[in-house]
Amino acid sequence: MFMIIETIPVTTAQDRPALAGPRNVLSLIGNTPLLSFNRIVPERSGVKIYAKAEWANPGGSVKDRPAKSILLEAERSGQMSRDKILVDSTSGNTGIAYAMICAARGYRLKICMPSNVSVERKQILAAYGTEIIYTDPMEGSDGAIRRVREIVQERPELYFYANQYDNPANWQAHYETTAAEIFEQTQGRITHFVAGLGTSGTFVGTSRRLKEFKPPVRCISFQPDSAFHGLEGLKHMASAILPGIYDPAVADEDLTVSTEEAYGMTRRLAREEGLLVGVSSGAAMAAALKVAAGIREGVIVTVFCDSGDKYLSERFWNSSD
Protein backbone atom coordinates (compact mmCIF):
# COMPACT_ATOMS: atom_id res chain seq x y z
CA MET A 1 0.00 0.00 0.00
CA PHE A 2 1.41 3.36 -0.97
CA MET A 3 0.71 6.69 0.74
CA ILE A 4 0.78 9.81 -1.40
CA ILE A 5 2.15 12.78 0.45
CA GLU A 6 1.64 16.26 -0.96
CA THR A 7 4.90 18.15 -0.97
CA ILE A 8 5.01 21.86 -0.19
CA PRO A 9 7.63 23.78 -2.13
CA VAL A 10 10.09 25.80 -0.11
CA THR A 11 10.10 29.47 -1.07
CA THR A 12 13.00 31.86 -0.88
CA ALA A 13 12.92 35.58 -0.23
CA GLN A 14 13.09 36.19 -3.99
CA ASP A 15 10.00 34.02 -4.57
CA ARG A 16 7.77 35.90 -2.15
CA PRO A 17 5.81 39.00 -3.20
CA ALA A 18 7.28 42.24 -1.97
CA LEU A 19 5.71 43.66 1.18
CA ALA A 20 4.03 47.03 0.94
CA GLY A 21 5.87 49.98 2.40
CA PRO A 22 4.80 51.95 5.49
CA ARG A 23 1.11 52.90 5.65
CA ASN A 24 -0.95 55.01 8.03
CA VAL A 25 -3.92 53.56 9.91
CA LEU A 26 -6.57 55.18 7.66
CA SER A 27 -5.12 53.41 4.63
CA LEU A 28 -5.87 50.05 6.26
CA ILE A 29 -9.64 50.66 6.23
CA GLY A 30 -11.61 48.64 3.66
CA ASN A 31 -10.78 45.78 1.30
CA THR A 32 -11.97 43.25 3.88
CA PRO A 33 -12.18 39.51 3.12
CA LEU A 34 -15.32 37.75 1.90
CA LEU A 35 -16.00 34.63 3.96
CA SER A 36 -17.59 31.33 2.97
CA PHE A 37 -19.11 28.74 5.34
CA ASN A 38 -18.50 25.03 5.84
CA ARG A 39 -21.25 23.73 8.11
CA ILE A 40 -24.04 26.22 8.86
CA VAL A 41 -25.11 26.82 5.27
CA PRO A 42 -27.21 23.93 3.88
CA GLU A 43 -25.40 21.90 1.25
CA ARG A 44 -27.34 23.04 -1.78
CA SER A 45 -25.20 23.78 -4.78
CA GLY A 46 -27.63 26.38 -6.08
CA VAL A 47 -27.41 28.76 -3.09
CA LYS A 48 -24.22 30.31 -1.71
CA ILE A 49 -23.91 32.60 1.31
CA TYR A 50 -20.90 34.84 1.91
CA ALA A 51 -20.13 37.49 4.54
CA LYS A 52 -17.80 40.48 4.65
CA ALA A 53 -15.37 40.12 7.58
CA GLU A 54 -15.51 43.75 8.71
CA TRP A 55 -13.51 43.14 11.88
CA ALA A 56 -10.47 43.11 9.57
CA ASN A 57 -10.64 46.91 9.60
CA PRO A 58 -8.03 48.40 11.98
CA GLY A 59 -10.68 49.66 14.42
CA GLY A 60 -12.31 46.24 14.43
CA SER A 61 -15.64 46.98 12.77
CA VAL A 62 -17.55 48.12 9.71
CA LYS A 63 -17.89 51.55 11.35
CA ASP A 64 -14.31 52.44 10.39
CA ARG A 65 -15.62 53.13 6.89
CA PRO A 66 -18.21 55.83 7.70
CA ALA A 67 -16.09 57.32 10.49
CA LYS A 68 -13.25 57.87 8.04
CA SER A 69 -15.61 59.27 5.41
CA ILE A 70 -17.31 61.63 7.88
CA LEU A 71 -14.06 62.99 9.31
CA LEU A 72 -12.26 63.45 5.99
CA GLU A 73 -15.27 65.25 4.53
CA ALA A 74 -15.43 67.49 7.63
CA GLU A 75 -11.76 68.36 7.17
CA ARG A 76 -12.28 69.07 3.49
CA SER A 77 -15.27 71.34 4.14
CA GLY A 78 -13.61 73.14 7.06
CA GLN A 79 -16.11 71.88 9.67
CA MET A 80 -13.39 70.08 11.65
CA SER A 81 -10.26 71.78 12.94
CA ARG A 82 -7.80 71.43 15.80
CA ASP A 83 -9.71 73.91 17.97
CA LYS A 84 -12.92 71.84 17.84
CA ILE A 85 -14.01 68.65 19.60
CA LEU A 86 -15.62 65.91 17.55
CA VAL A 87 -18.79 64.79 19.34
CA ASP A 88 -21.34 62.12 18.48
CA SER A 89 -23.61 59.43 19.90
CA THR A 90 -22.79 55.76 19.43
CA SER A 91 -23.55 52.26 20.65
CA GLY A 92 -19.81 51.64 20.64
CA ASN A 93 -18.28 50.71 17.30
CA THR A 94 -18.51 54.12 15.63
CA GLY A 95 -17.13 55.66 18.78
CA ILE A 96 -14.15 53.29 18.64
CA ALA A 97 -13.62 54.15 14.97
CA TYR A 98 -13.74 57.88 15.76
CA ALA A 99 -11.33 57.35 18.67
CA MET A 100 -8.79 55.55 16.50
CA ILE A 101 -8.94 58.13 13.71
CA CYS A 102 -8.99 61.16 16.02
CA ALA A 103 -5.95 59.82 17.88
CA ALA A 104 -4.13 59.35 14.58
CA ARG A 105 -4.98 62.86 13.38
CA GLY A 106 -4.62 64.75 16.65
CA TYR A 107 -8.25 65.62 17.44
CA ARG A 108 -10.18 65.63 20.71
CA LEU A 109 -13.26 63.39 20.98
CA LYS A 110 -16.36 63.25 23.17
CA ILE A 111 -18.79 60.34 22.92
CA CYS A 112 -22.30 59.78 24.32
CA MET A 113 -23.43 56.17 24.61
CA PRO A 114 -25.78 53.98 26.68
CA SER A 115 -24.21 52.81 29.94
CA ASN A 116 -25.11 49.17 29.24
CA VAL A 117 -22.80 48.73 26.23
CA SER A 118 -20.31 45.94 26.70
CA VAL A 119 -17.43 46.35 29.15
CA GLU A 120 -14.97 45.69 26.35
CA ARG A 121 -16.21 48.65 24.30
CA LYS A 122 -15.88 50.94 27.28
CA GLN A 123 -12.32 49.71 27.89
CA ILE A 124 -11.27 50.22 24.26
CA LEU A 125 -12.61 53.78 24.21
CA ALA A 126 -10.84 54.52 27.49
CA ALA A 127 -7.60 53.16 26.04
CA TYR A 128 -7.80 55.73 23.24
CA GLY A 129 -8.33 58.50 25.82
CA THR A 130 -11.91 59.25 24.78
CA GLU A 131 -14.17 61.39 26.96
CA ILE A 132 -17.31 59.31 27.51
CA ILE A 133 -20.74 60.45 28.70
CA TYR A 134 -22.99 57.54 29.64
CA THR A 135 -26.74 57.78 29.07
CA ASP A 136 -29.78 55.90 30.37
CA PRO A 137 -29.66 52.31 29.09
CA MET A 138 -33.46 52.17 29.00
CA GLU A 139 -33.41 54.90 26.34
CA GLY A 140 -30.97 52.97 24.14
CA SER A 141 -29.20 54.75 21.29
CA ASP A 142 -31.99 57.35 21.12
CA GLY A 143 -31.11 58.56 24.61
CA ALA A 144 -27.50 59.06 23.50
CA ILE A 145 -28.70 60.99 20.46
CA ARG A 146 -30.79 63.32 22.61
CA ARG A 147 -27.91 63.92 25.03
CA VAL A 148 -25.39 64.80 22.34
CA ARG A 149 -27.86 67.26 20.81
CA GLU A 150 -28.14 68.99 24.19
CA ILE A 151 -24.34 69.23 24.46
CA VAL A 152 -24.00 70.76 21.00
CA GLN A 153 -26.82 73.21 21.64
CA GLU A 154 -25.07 74.46 24.80
CA ARG A 155 -21.72 75.22 23.08
CA PRO A 156 -22.14 74.97 19.28
CA GLU A 157 -18.89 76.84 18.58
CA LEU A 158 -16.85 74.25 20.52
CA TYR A 159 -17.95 71.11 18.67
CA PHE A 160 -18.06 69.40 15.32
CA TYR A 161 -21.19 67.25 15.60
CA ALA A 162 -20.39 64.30 13.33
CA ASN A 163 -24.04 63.14 13.47
CA GLN A 164 -23.57 59.66 11.99
CA TYR A 165 -27.33 59.07 11.79
CA ASP A 166 -27.97 62.03 9.50
CA ASN A 167 -24.63 62.57 7.77
CA PRO A 168 -24.67 61.54 4.09
CA ALA A 169 -20.92 60.79 4.27
CA ASN A 170 -22.00 57.71 6.24
CA TRP A 171 -23.88 55.94 3.45
CA GLN A 172 -21.54 57.37 0.81
CA ALA A 173 -18.64 55.46 2.39
CA HIS A 174 -20.41 52.18 1.59
CA TYR A 175 -21.52 53.40 -1.82
CA GLU A 176 -17.89 54.09 -2.70
CA THR A 177 -16.19 51.10 -1.07
CA THR A 178 -18.27 48.25 0.37
CA ALA A 179 -20.48 47.74 -2.68
CA ALA A 180 -17.58 47.77 -5.14
CA GLU A 181 -15.64 45.26 -3.04
CA ILE A 182 -18.62 42.88 -2.86
CA PHE A 183 -19.28 43.11 -6.57
CA GLU A 184 -15.64 42.41 -7.39
CA GLN A 185 -15.25 39.61 -4.83
CA THR A 186 -18.29 37.76 -6.20
CA GLN A 187 -17.25 38.43 -9.82
CA GLY A 188 -20.63 40.13 -10.26
CA ARG A 189 -22.52 36.96 -9.33
CA ILE A 190 -24.25 38.48 -6.28
CA THR A 191 -28.05 38.12 -6.45
CA HIS A 192 -29.06 39.13 -2.88
CA PHE A 193 -27.60 41.60 -0.38
CA VAL A 194 -28.61 41.36 3.29
CA ALA A 195 -27.70 43.92 5.97
CA GLY A 196 -29.02 45.18 9.30
CA LEU A 197 -30.41 48.60 10.12
CA GLY A 198 -28.70 50.76 12.71
CA THR A 199 -27.77 54.12 11.26
CA SER A 200 -28.80 52.31 8.02
CA GLY A 201 -25.65 53.57 6.28
CA THR A 202 -24.27 50.12 5.40
CA PHE A 203 -27.53 48.94 3.91
CA VAL A 204 -28.52 52.13 2.10
CA GLY A 205 -25.13 52.96 0.60
CA THR A 206 -24.19 49.44 -0.43
CA SER A 207 -27.63 48.70 -1.88
CA ARG A 208 -27.79 51.86 -3.95
CA ARG A 209 -24.45 51.11 -5.58
CA LEU A 210 -25.11 47.40 -6.08
CA LYS A 211 -28.35 48.24 -7.91
CA GLU A 212 -26.35 50.48 -10.23
CA PHE A 213 -23.85 47.71 -10.89
CA LYS A 214 -26.56 45.07 -11.34
CA PRO A 215 -30.21 46.24 -11.22
CA PRO A 216 -31.75 42.78 -10.58
CA VAL A 217 -29.90 42.42 -7.25
CA ARG A 218 -32.41 42.10 -4.41
CA CYS A 219 -31.53 44.11 -1.31
CA ILE A 220 -33.00 42.88 1.96
CA SER A 221 -32.73 44.80 5.23
CA PHE A 222 -33.34 43.36 8.68
CA GLN A 223 -33.96 44.82 12.11
CA PRO A 224 -34.82 43.66 15.64
CA ASP A 225 -38.32 42.26 16.04
CA SER A 226 -39.22 44.55 18.96
CA ALA A 227 -38.31 47.85 20.59
CA PHE A 228 -36.73 46.05 23.56
CA HIS A 229 -33.95 43.87 22.23
CA GLY A 230 -30.34 42.86 22.86
CA LEU A 231 -28.90 43.57 19.43
CA GLU A 232 -26.32 46.32 20.03
CA GLY A 233 -25.97 48.65 17.06
CA LEU A 234 -29.33 47.75 15.48
CA LYS A 235 -32.53 49.79 15.59
CA HIS A 236 -36.19 48.81 15.69
CA MET A 237 -37.19 51.51 13.23
CA ALA A 238 -40.89 51.71 14.13
CA SER A 239 -40.09 52.77 17.69
CA ALA A 240 -36.80 54.65 17.21
CA ILE A 241 -35.67 58.11 16.15
CA LEU A 242 -35.37 57.54 12.41
CA PRO A 243 -31.94 58.29 10.96
CA GLY A 244 -32.01 61.07 8.40
CA ILE A 245 -30.06 58.90 5.96
CA TYR A 246 -32.53 56.00 6.19
CA ASP A 247 -34.52 55.40 3.01
CA PRO A 248 -36.95 52.48 3.38
CA ALA A 249 -37.63 52.54 -0.37
CA VAL A 250 -34.15 51.09 -1.00
CA ALA A 251 -35.18 47.73 0.47
CA ASP A 252 -36.87 45.12 -1.69
CA GLU A 253 -37.81 43.35 1.54
CA ASP A 254 -37.42 43.92 5.27
CA LEU A 255 -37.01 41.05 7.76
CA THR A 256 -37.02 40.87 11.54
CA VAL A 257 -34.67 38.88 13.74
CA SER A 258 -35.22 38.14 17.43
CA THR A 259 -32.57 38.56 20.08
CA GLU A 260 -32.74 34.83 20.81
CA GLU A 261 -32.18 33.95 17.13
CA ALA A 262 -29.17 36.25 16.98
CA TYR A 263 -27.64 34.90 20.20
CA GLY A 264 -28.10 31.30 19.08
CA MET A 265 -26.57 31.93 15.66
CA THR A 266 -23.65 33.84 17.17
CA ARG A 267 -22.83 30.82 19.32
CA ARG A 268 -23.18 28.49 16.31
CA LEU A 269 -20.82 30.57 14.20
CA ALA A 270 -18.16 30.27 16.90
CA ARG A 271 -18.68 26.57 17.58
CA GLU A 272 -19.40 25.29 14.07
CA GLU A 273 -17.48 27.69 11.82
CA GLY A 274 -14.67 28.94 14.07
CA LEU A 275 -15.91 32.51 13.61
CA LEU A 276 -16.04 34.51 16.86
CA VAL A 277 -18.32 37.34 15.79
CA GLY A 278 -20.57 39.95 17.35
CA VAL A 279 -24.30 39.62 17.95
CA SER A 280 -25.28 41.69 14.92
CA SER A 281 -23.28 39.25 12.79
CA GLY A 282 -25.28 36.39 14.26
CA ALA A 283 -28.43 38.31 13.34
CA ALA A 284 -27.07 38.86 9.81
CA MET A 285 -26.45 35.14 9.36
CA ALA A 286 -29.93 34.30 10.64
CA ALA A 287 -31.45 36.77 8.15
CA ALA A 288 -29.32 35.45 5.28
CA LEU A 289 -30.47 31.89 6.00
CA LYS A 290 -34.09 33.07 5.90
CA VAL A 291 -33.46 34.51 2.46
CA ALA A 292 -31.70 31.32 1.36
CA ALA A 293 -34.67 29.20 2.44
CA GLY A 294 -36.91 31.06 0.01
CA ILE A 295 -34.83 30.70 -3.17
CA ARG A 296 -33.58 27.82 -5.32
CA GLU A 297 -30.38 29.44 -6.48
CA GLY A 298 -28.43 32.61 -5.85
CA VAL A 299 -25.42 34.26 -4.28
CA ILE A 300 -26.27 35.96 -0.99
CA VAL A 301 -23.83 38.40 0.63
CA THR A 302 -24.22 39.81 4.12
CA VAL A 303 -22.04 41.86 6.46
CA PHE A 304 -20.44 40.68 9.70
CA CYS A 305 -20.01 44.04 11.39
CA ASP A 306 -17.49 43.08 14.05
CA SER A 307 -15.84 40.25 15.96
CA GLY A 308 -17.01 38.71 19.21
CA ASP A 309 -14.15 39.95 21.35
CA LYS A 310 -16.15 43.06 22.33
CA TYR A 311 -18.94 40.86 23.73
CA LEU A 312 -17.11 38.16 25.71
CA SER A 313 -18.46 39.50 29.02
CA GLU A 314 -22.04 38.90 27.83
CA ARG A 315 -23.87 36.01 29.51
CA PHE A 316 -25.40 34.50 26.36
CA TRP A 317 -22.11 32.72 25.53
CA ASN A 318 -22.70 30.36 28.44
CA SER A 319 -25.96 28.97 27.11
CA SER A 320 -25.94 25.39 25.82
CA ASP A 321 -28.76 26.01 23.33
**Among 10, 37, 4, which Cα is nearest to 281's?**
37
**Among 88, 280, 270, 260, which Cα is nearest to 165's?**
88
For residues 222 and 170, give the distance between their C-alpha atoms in angstroms, rounded to a whole number.
18
CA-based diameter of the chain, in Å? 82
Respond yes or no: is residue 290 known to be catalytic.
Answer: no
Respond yes or no: is residue 91 known to be catalytic.
Answer: no
What single string gives the DSSP state of each residue in 213-224?
A: H-TT-EEEEEEE
Name the catalytic one among 48, 52, 61, 63.
Answer: 63
Name the catalytic one among 280, 281, 307, 310.
Answer: 280
Q: Output the CA angle 95-97-100, nearest 5 degrees.
A: 110
Beta bridge partners of 195: 221
Quick one: 230 exposed, middle or buried, by C-beta within 10 A (0-12, 13-18, 19+)? middle
Q: Which residues are catalytic?
A: 63, 280
